[in-house]
Structure 1
Amino acid sequence: MTRFARNRKGFKKTASSDKVTTSLDEQVEWLKQQLSDRFDVVYHLFVSGSTQRCALVYLQGMVDLKMLQDEVLRPLLALTTTDSQEFRERIFERKQLPVSNYRVTTIREGFTSLFESFVLLLIDGEERIIELPFGSYEQRSIDEPANEATVRGPREAFIESAEVNLSLIRKRLKTSNFKTETMRLGTQTQTELMILYIHGICKKELVDEVRMKLTSIDIDGVLGSSYIEEFLDQSPFSPFPQVQYSERPDVVSAALLEGRVAVIVDGTPMVLLAPVTLWMLLQSAEDYYQRYVAGTWIRWIRYLFVFISLLLPSVYIAITTFHPEMIPPKLLITIAASREIVPFPALIEAFIMEISFEALREAAVRIPKSIGQAVSIIGALIIGTAAVQAGIVSAAMVIIVSFTGIASFIIPHFDLGLSFRFLRFPIMIFAGLFGLFGIICGLLLIYIHLINLRSFGTPYLAPMTPFIVSDLKDTYVRAPWWYMRRRPNTAGANKIRQQKDKYTPEHRHEENGD
Structure 2
Amino acid sequence: MIQIRRSPLKKTAKKKPEDKQTSSEDIPLSKQLNESLDFFKSLYKDSSDVMFRSFLIGDRDASIIYIEGLSDVEKLDEFVLNKLMNKNEIDMTNLVSSLKNSLPISNLRNITTYKQCIEDIANGNPVLLIDGYEAAYSLGLVKFEKRAIEEPAAESGIRGPREGFTESLGVNTALVRRIIKDPALKMKPLHVGTYTKTKVVVSYIEGLVDSTLLEEIENRINRIEIDGILESGYIEEFIEDHPYSPFPQVLYSERPDVVSANLLEGRTIIMIDGTPFALIAPVSFFSLFQSQEDYYERFWIGTFIRMLRFLFLAVSLFLPSIYVAITTFHQEMIPTDLLLSIASSREGVPFPAIVEAIMMEFAFEALREAGVRLPKQIGSAVSIVGALVIGQAAVEAGIVSAPMVIVVSITGIASFLIPRYSIGLAIRLLRFPIIILAGFLGLIGVMLAFIILLIHLANLKSFGLPYLSPISTTQKNALRDTIIRSPLWKMDVRPQLTGNVDLTRQGSHLKPNVDQGPGEGGS
Give the TM-score normalised by structure 2. 0.92
Residue 43 of structure 2 aligns with which residue?
34
User: Is the alpha carbon distance of 1:288 and 1:25 closer, same or farther for their aligned partners in structure 2, counting shifts above 3 Å?
Assistant: same
Q: What is the deviation of 1:30? A: 2.6
SS in 1 for 2:85: helix
2:216 and 2:473 map into 1 onto residues whose CA distance is 22
Residue 66 of structure 1 aligns with which residue?
74
1:13 and 1:354 map into 2 onto residues whose CA distance is 51
CA deviation map 1:432-458 (0-9, x unaligned): 111111100100000001111111111
1:19 and 1:253 map into 2 onto residues whose CA distance is 41
1:387-406 to structure 2, matched below 5 A, reads: 387-406=394-413
Question: Is the 8 Å Cα contact of residues 70 and 124 (structure 2) preserved in structure 1?
Answer: yes
1:95 and 1:5 map into 2 onto residues whose CA distance is 36
Identity of aligned residues (%): 46
Instruction: State the one-letter code of the partner of 1:215.
Output: N
Residue 370 of structure 1 aligns with which residue?
377
2:218 and 2:67 map into 1 onto residues whose CA distance is 32
CA deviation map 1:102-160 (0-9, x unaligned): 11123623133211111011222223211112121211101001111121111011111
Question: Is the 8 Å Cα contact of residues 42 and 57 (structure 1) preserved in structure 2?
Answer: yes
Residue 431 of structure 2 aligns with which residue?
424
Question: Is the 8 Å Cα contact of residues 46 and 53 (structure 1) preserved in structure 2?
Answer: yes
Residue 98 of structure 1 aligns with which residue?
104
Question: Is the 8 Å Cα contact of residues 232 and 275 (structure 2) preserved in structure 1?
Answer: yes
SS in 2 for 1:188: coil
Instruction: State the one-letter code of the partner of 2:275.
Output: T
Residue 128 of structure 2 aligns with which residue?
121
Residue 280 of structure 1 aligns with which residue?
287
Task: Identify the match of residue 305 of structure 1 among 300, 312, 328.
Answer: 312
CA deviation map 1:316-361 (0-9, x unaligned): 0011111111112111111110101101110000001000111111
Question: Is the 8 Å Cα contact of residues 195 and 263 (structure 1) preserved in structure 2?
Answer: yes
Instruction: State the one-letter code of the partner of 1:449.
Output: H
Question: Is the 8 Å Cα contact of residues 464 and 498 (structure 2) preserved in structure 1?
Answer: no
Task: Identify the match of residue 444 of structure 2 among 437, 440, 443.
Answer: 437
Residue 210 of structure 1 aligns with which residue?
217
1:19 and 1:248 map into 2 onto residues whose CA distance is 42
Question: Is the 8 Å Cα contact of residues 90 and 98 (structure 2) preserved in structure 1?
Answer: no
Residue 9 of structure 2 aligns with which residue?
none
Question: Is the 8 Å Cα contact of residues 83 and 89 (structure 2) preserved in structure 1?
Answer: no
Residue 12 of structure 1 aligns with which residue?
21
SS in 2 for 1:342: coil
| 1:108 maps to 2:146 | no
SS in 2 for 1:482: helix
Question: Is the 8 Å Cα contact of residues 52 and 123 (structure 1) preserved in structure 2?
Answer: yes
Question: Is the 8 Å Cα contact of residues 264 and 271 (structure 1) preserved in structure 2?
Answer: yes
User: Is the alpha carbon distance of 1:6 and 1:148 closer, same or farther for their aligned partners in structure 2, counting shifts above 3 Å?
Assistant: farther
Task: Identify the match of residue 481 of structure 2 among 474, 484, 487.
Answer: 474
Question: Is the 8 Å Cα contact of residues 349 and 400 (structure 2) preserved in structure 1?
Answer: yes
User: Is the alpha carbon distance of 1:365 and 1:11 closer, same or farther for their aligned partners in structure 2, counting shifts above 3 Å?
Assistant: farther
Question: Is the 8 Å Cα contact of residues 197 and 261 (structure 1) preserved in structure 2?
Answer: yes
Question: Is the 8 Å Cα contact of residues 42 and 59 (structure 1) preserved in structure 2?
Answer: yes
Question: Is the 8 Å Cα contact of residues 259 and 493 (structure 1) preserved in structure 2?
Answer: no
User: Is the alpha carbon distance of 1:11 and 1:295 closer, same or farther for their aligned partners in structure 2, counting shifts above 3 Å?
Assistant: farther
Task: Identify the match of residue 168 of structure 2 among 157, 161, 164.
Answer: 161
CA deviation map 1:2-32 (0-9, x unaligned): x99679xx96258xxx785333333323321
| 1:44 maps to 2:50 | no
Question: Is the 8 Å Cα contact of residues 27 and 107 (structure 1) preserved in structure 2?
Answer: no
Question: Is the 8 Å Cα contact of residues 118 and 135 (structure 1) preserved in structure 2?
Answer: yes
1:115 and 1:231 map into 2 onto residues whose CA distance is 25
Instruction: State the one-letter code of the partner of 1:21.
Output: S
1:97 and 1:26 map into 2 onto residues whose CA distance is 26
Question: Is the 8 Å Cα contact of residues 188 and 201 (structure 2) preserved in structure 1?
Answer: yes
1:513 and 1:36 map into 2 onto residues whose CA distance is 73
1:13 and 1:145 map into 2 onto residues whose CA distance is 38
User: Is the alpha carbon distance of 1:446 and 1:6 closer, same or farther for their aligned partners in structure 2, counting shifts above 3 Å?
Assistant: farther
Answer with 367-376 or 319-328: which moved more: 367-376
1:68-467 to structure 2, matched below 5 A, reads: 68-80=76-88, 84-91=92-99, 94-106=100-112, 108-109=114-115, 110-467=117-474
Answer with 205-214 or 468-477: which moved more: 468-477
2:22 and 2:162 map into 1 onto residues whose CA distance is 48
Question: Is the 8 Å Cα contact of residues 512 and 522 (structure 2) preserved in structure 1?
Answer: no
Question: Is the 8 Å Cα contact of residues 282 and 465 (structure 2) preserved in structure 1?
Answer: yes
SS in 2 for 1:171: helix
CA RMSD of aligned residues (A): 2.2
2:74 and 2:181 map into 1 onto residues whose CA distance is 33
2:333 and 2:294 map into 1 onto residues whose CA distance is 37
Question: Is the 8 Å Cα contact of residues 106 and 140 (structure 2) preserved in structure 1?
Answer: no
Instruction: State the one-letter code of the partner of 1:47.
Output: L
2:162 and 2:298 map into 1 onto residues whose CA distance is 19
User: Is the alpha carbon distance of 1:450 and 1:31 closer, same or farther for their aligned partners in structure 2, counting shifts above 3 Å?
Assistant: same
Q: What is the deviation of 1:48? A: 3.2
SS in 1 for 2:434: helix
User: Is the alpha carbon distance of 1:513 and 1:384 closer, same or farther for their aligned partners in structure 2, counting shifts above 3 Å?
Assistant: closer
CA deviation map 1:445-474 (0-9, x unaligned): 000011111111111011111322211111
Question: Is the 8 Å Cα contact of residues 4 and 13 (structure 1) preserved in structure 2?
Answer: no
2:475 and 2:382 map into 1 onto residues whose CA distance is 47
1:20 and 1:178 map into 2 onto residues whose CA distance is 36
Q: What is the deviation of 1:363? A: 1.1
Instruction: State the one-letter code of the partner of 1:324.
Output: Q
Instruction: State the one-letter code of the partner of 1:104.
Output: N
SS in 2 for 1:425: helix
Question: Is the 8 Å Cα contact of residues 89 and 102 (structure 2) preserved in structure 1?
Answer: no
1:187 and 1:143 map into 2 onto residues whose CA distance is 32
1:191 and 1:513 map into 2 onto residues whose CA distance is 53
Residue 7 of structure 2 aligns with which residue?
none
